[in-house]
Amino acid sequence: MSILNKDPVQRVKKFLKEYDSNLEVTLLNISARTATEAAASLHCQVGAIVKSLLFKAENNFILCLVAGDKKASLNKIKKIIDIKDVSMASAEEVKGVTGFTIGGVSPVGHLNEIKIYIDNSLERFDNLYAAAGHPNCVFKVDYSNLQKMTKGLIKEISE
């Protein structure tokens, strides 16, 4: 089975086509499991890679979209959501909540509805690249459309 035909990638493709028929999933020749790998494959700055990071906040989950050259700040996230018990989700939780495996977590096409926060540092790039359901799949989008398609709240969540 082609990577593009796998269920997680198909969910992202379906979401993108419904949002804007011009958006498409790109299959990379090498893995984009990390922001550095993705940037090398796409010949772009590491910061233009959108990292989708799932956090567990008490009994809920939140997805934080952070530039590839930044780190999510747990302290800033805790203050924004006003919850003290926040931690990275486990690989099993990521798969169960989003339907994606780590390295391929897309900002869209999740199995469950998730509150999303977008780091304001992503605004400095004309084009952003986000995972599309598999470590070898990405899609290109601008900051404004990333915010609109995810209905994400823009906050300063990186350090």
**How far is it, in rounded angstroms, from Cα 159 to Cα 156?**
8
Could you report the per-residue pLDDT of 79-122, keeping only the tens digit for each? 999 999 999 999 999 999 999 999 899 999 999 999 999 999 99
**Alpha helix locations (H) across 4-128?**
7-19, 35-42, 74-81, 91-98
pLDDT of residue 55: 98
How confident is the model at residue 1, as a pLDDT?
66
Contact indicator for 132, 12 with CB cutoff of 8 Å: yes
Residue 11: φ, ψ to 5°: -60, -45
* Cβ atoms of residues 103 and 116 within 8 Å: no
| Domain carrying residue 129 | 3-155
Beta-strand runs (E) in 2-148: 25-27, 49-57, 60-67, 86-88, 115-119, 128-131, 137-141
Alpha carbons within 13 angstroms on the beta-carbon side of residue 33 total: 4
**Which pLDDT does position 30 carry in this prediction?**
78
List, for the chain, all residue ranges whose pLDDT scores fall below the cut of 70. 1
Can you give the pLDDT at residue 73?
96
Contact 2, 124 (CB under 8 A): no
For residue 112, the domain's CATH number is 3.90.960.10
Number of domains, the chain: 1
